[in-house]
Structure 1
Amino acid sequence: MVIPNDTPWSGLEAGKVDTRRVDAAARWNWFWAVMPRADATLVLQLSDLPRPAPDLPKLKSLEIRFQTLPGGPILYIRLKDNAQMELFETLCRDVMAAGELAETESEALERAIGRTFRWHYLLRGGKLEVLSEEAQKGLIGEIEVLKLLIAELGPKPALSAWMGPSGAPKDFELKADCIEVKARRGASQPFVKITSEHQLADVPDRRIWLAVLAVDKVQPPHGRTLTEHVDTVTKLLERTEPSSVMDWELHLADVGYDALHDYSAWRWIVSAPEFFAVTEDFPRIAAPVLLGVSGVTFALALSACSPFLKAWNDVRAGLIEGGQA
């Protein structure tokens, strides 16, 4: 493959790893590079590899990895399809801009990975705009449950269990429990929308919970913005377990949240979650369904769920007994 002349990689020699510093005035060590197969690459040179190594996004047209070279460790982002070079340059410059805001190298790495996860979301079909009202409500609902799990299990296990941003069938998957979270307007009809037959489906050897919260939009000065809800958790993690902040930010990036967006137009109040035990006789349509039927969506009346309502203390006791702490 030939590197086009109008790109930052032009003039770099294919057949070996050839590099050019992006900007001599940059705070961190960014390099344009060409890998042996003439693949355009962005490199961030590091003093040390992070321990433990954080998760990295997986994209069809990109390879994102840590590597130790004779000159030291690096993080690199390699384009595998040169037909997308213009978009790749935009991605690289955006990742660098995010990293350059950092005060330390480790923070620069966190920001670079977080911004790459943001591109992972965008290239998967997400949008550059702020999250919709429905998406904000859903994220706030999951954050409220996450805060409960952090208090019981600690930040790392709670964040590891949070599967909602990745699009998994259940929003939280723990060793002995799964939790599906639904946010609704408090004044709306007493129903929640179940969007898949898998959301309330049984999982072997795990209890299934449906957590329902009222999340309502209010006028200033009442309530809090999505940014404020997010910042509450960020500050909690910075105070109690700073090493979990990267995991938290990666989850947010995967769900499409960008701290640079302005969410001041929306303020929200949220209720404490109610937990319903999804047992064999719980009202639901669950997998497996009839052959040829899929993508089942239905409205679930909360009045029909009331016999299955459990106190949080009952839920948390099971988490602890299940060895989650």
Structure 2
Amino acid sequence: MMATIEDLWRTAIAEVSRKPIEPNGFRLTRIHPESRFDIYAGVDESAFVLLAIGIHATPPSIATDSASLDYFRQQRLDSSWLMVLRLRKRGLEPVFGRLCQDLLDAAESVPDENTLVSLFKERLNLWKKLFQDGGDGFLQQYKIKGLIAELLVLETLVHDGMRGANETVTGWTGPLATDQDFVYSDCALEVKAIGPGAENVSISSLEQLDCRVPMHLILVTLRQAASSEPAAIGLNKLVARIEGAIAGNADALKTFKERLLEASYFEHEYYDSILFEPLSMLRYRIADAFPKLTRGMVPLGVSSATYAISLCSISDFEDGSPA
């Protein structure tokens, strides 16, 4: 069985206690000897874990702006280079290991060294979001709830089959911080997760219910549930279901995984502990008479606004299922 990067780290950390590393030094082990690329697991003299990639050209400079991660470059004796990413916070090794393993898996499909460097830069920029402000890398519960709602809608759209899998997944733009969560050439969807008994839904901007194409608001009612409940679902199970549904389209699967990283999600057992039961999914037309605020409706000088819409005020706009 092939050793994981976390296995290599554990071995290297144990070795440091027996054979210390010189100050400002580090020790590396090539992860997959048969790989086309030189990618290493390692530790430094303080037993902080590393991911290093060997390349021939001078690596780019990348600012991490993180107390948990740092990046540096080092030239080797043969004039090649190492791009080194180091975890500087204890306890995050399982999270960092899962992210590094994801990078290793993605690296197997890139065609050349330049693309590998670009992949490293893209992933590092995404990973910085996970650890910003000293975070532990995991989504907070309210974000988990919101992401589950978006994924339930995406799953519904995939199974509906009105669009191809790649078009359906590419239209999921919520992780890219667009004004609406799903944007297509002929419609847009804004998804909100609410709890049972909710009386209002919160709108976070003047643009959220304002779009150049026909638009719907989709309200997904979710109740927090225990693992023993048959209808309970978490991110890991839901993501696996969607991956299975789109597995036949490589482009859709690739885009889906990238959007999940943009949403700061990666597969981890932590997400099996926060579960919800979907109770309903209702769609509402954003017609002219729909109660909303848009930029064209507020006085000059109002640059932003958040507001709440009473659910009882929009019952006349209900428009069936989201598919």
Same fold at TM > 0.5: yes
TM-score after normalising by structure 2 = 0.67
Whether contact under 8 Å (1:99, 1:111) holds in the other structure is no
2:266 to 258, 266, 275: 258
Contact kept? 2:38, 2:53, Cα under 8 Å: yes
Counterparts of 2:63 and 2:119 in 1: how far apart (Å)?
25
Provide closer, same or farther for how the CA distance between residues 250 and 44 of structure 1 changes in structure 2, counting only shifts above 3 A. Answer: farther
Identical counterparts, % of pairs: 20
Q: Which amino acid aligns with 1:274?
A: L
Distance 1:277 1:256, change over 3 A: same
Query: Which residue identity lines up with residue 219 of structure 1 in the other structure?
Result: A
Q: Deviations over 1:134-177 (max 9, x none)?
A: 11110011011111222321221112111111111111111011
Note closer, same or farther for the CA distance 1:301–1:116 as it changes in structure 2 (3 Å cut). Answer: same
Q: Deviation at 1:209?
A: 0.7
Q: Deviations 1:108-142 (Å, cap 9, x if unpaired)?
A: 97996884353153377693342122111100110
- Name the SS of the counterpart of 1:217 in structure 2: strand
Deviations along 1:216-236, one digit per CA (max 9) or x if unpaired, are: 101231112221111111222
Give the partner amino acid of 2:273. A
> Residues 125 and 171 from structure 1, CA distance in 2 versus in 1: closer, same or farther, beyond 3 angstroms?
farther
Which of 65, 87, 91 is the equivalent residue of 2:85? 91
Partner of 2:236: 227
Cα distance change on mapping 1:101 and 1:276 into 2, 3 Å: same
Q: Which moved further from structure 2: 278-287 or 106-115?
A: 106-115
Q: How many residues were matched structurally?
A: 258
Question: In the alignment, which of 298, 304, 307 is matched to residue 313 of structure 2?
Answer: 304
Aligned to 1:218: 225
Q: Distance in 2 between matches of 1:140 and 1:82?
A: 29
Structure 2 Cα separation of the partners of residues 30 and 265 of structure 1:
36
Does the CA-based 8 Å contact 1:176-1:207 persist in structure 2? yes
Counterparts of 1:50-65 in structure 2, within 5 Å, are none
2:60 counterpart SS class: strand
Kindly tell me: are residues 284 and 106 of structure 1, through their superposed partners in 2, closer, same or farther at Cα, counting changes over 3 Å? same
Unaligned runs of 5+ in 2: 1-22, 41-50, 73-83, 88-95
- Structure 2 distance, partners of 1:294, 1:169, is 15
Match of 2:193 in 1: 183
Residue of structure 1 equivalent to 2:129: 121
Q: Paired residue for 2:291?
A: 283
How far, CA to CA, are the matches of 1:180 and 1:6 in structure 2? 50
Which residue in the other structure is 1:164 paired with? 174
Question: How has the CA–CA distance of structure 1 residues 158 and 126 changed in structure 2, closer, same or farther, with 3 Å as cutoff?
Answer: farther
Aligned pair partner of 2:32 in 10, 26, 38:
26
Question: Given residue 315 of structure 2, which amino acid in structure 1 is its aligned partner?
Answer: S
Structure 1 distance, partners of 2:157, 2:150, is 11
Provide the aligned C-alpha RMSD in A: 3.8
Equivalent residue in structure 2 for 1:106, among 106, 109, 128: 109
Query: How does the TM-score come out when normalised to structure 1?
Result: 0.67
Are the structure 2 counterparts of residues 104 and 118 from structure 1 closer, same or farther at C-alpha, using a change threshold of 3 Å?
Answer: closer
> Aligned partners of 1:156, 1:209: CA distance in 2, in Å?
21
* Amino acid aligned to 2:61: L
CA 123–213 in structure 1, closer or farther in 2 if over 3 Å, else same: same
- 1:168/1:99 Cα in 2 relative to 1: closer, same or farther (>3 Å)? closer
Residue 245 of structure 1, CA deviation: 1.9
In the alignment, is the contact (CA less than 8 A) between 2:30 and 2:39 conserved in 1?
A: no
SS at match of 2:70: helix
What secondary structure does 2:71 align onto? Answer: helix
Secondary structure at the counterpart of residue 272 of structure 2: coil
Which letter maps to 1:295?
S
Give the match for residue 61 of structure 2.
79
**Counterpart residue number, 1:13:** none
CA distance in 2, matches of 1:121, 1:275: 32
Name the structure 1 match of 2:14.
none
User: Corresponding residue for 1:144?
Assistant: 152
Task: Answer yes or no: is the 8 Å Cα contact 1:155–1:241 preserved in 2.
Answer: yes
Separation of aligned partners in 1, 2:134 and 2:207: 23
Where do residues 8-19 of structure 1 align in structure 2 (5 Å cutoff)? none
Tell me the secondary structure at the aligned position of residue 230 of structure 1: helix
Distance in 2 (CA, whole Å) between partners of 1:185 and 1:273 is: 12
Distance 1:285 1:248 in 2: 32
Shift of residue 92, structure 1, vs aligned partner: 6.5
Q: Deviations over 1:172-194 (max 9, x none)?
A: 111011111011002x3321111
Q: Which moved more, 1:285-294 or 1:23-32?
A: 23-32
Once the 2 structures are TM-superposed, how far is the Cα of residue 25 of structure 1 from its aligned partner?
Answer: 5.1
SS in 2 for 1:156: helix
